[in-house]
Structure 1
């Protein structure tokens, strides 16, 4: 798995802190995919949520990027549930980000 996404400043509520500009830039680079369809979903995600993406959500998105392009596309298009694609990622934070990815 990827290293945790750094936050703007360490606090007790690290999961709810917004991603700083550097962490957001690294996450965008990490999200580049081989399938155009995935890139389109992710581009729309960043257009809609980049300015309010939390550290927790950034880490969940980074975890999703560990999947193959085909698995990620199946999730975007809701052809398979997360529990079937990668049971270890079937967590509330990843489900939240997946819902945001699908909300175009």
Structure 2
């Protein structure tokens, strides 16, 4: 990933140097050449190419927080999967114990 970014920045830098040393070029044109052909596009490409790594980091952080919360509550996940291991930890019936009544119109 970084090889492509470094190579493109190098090419844009060489273009900027050519612009600055050209008889009809200027330093301002060289700066804009480097910014618009080099830094701006490569920042977008770097952000897009880094998306999978950011996604993996977020999932790892969430998994670590989940494990920490389970350890703090005294619940251990023996199966290793993301399913709940203690669905009825409080000993209460699941759902409502009294059926709701329909209102008459």
The normalised TM-score by structure 2 is: 0.25
- Structure having the higher Rg: 2
The normalised TM-score by structure 1 is: 0.25
The structure showing larger relative contact order (alpha-carbon pairs under 8 Å, at least 6 residues apart) is 1
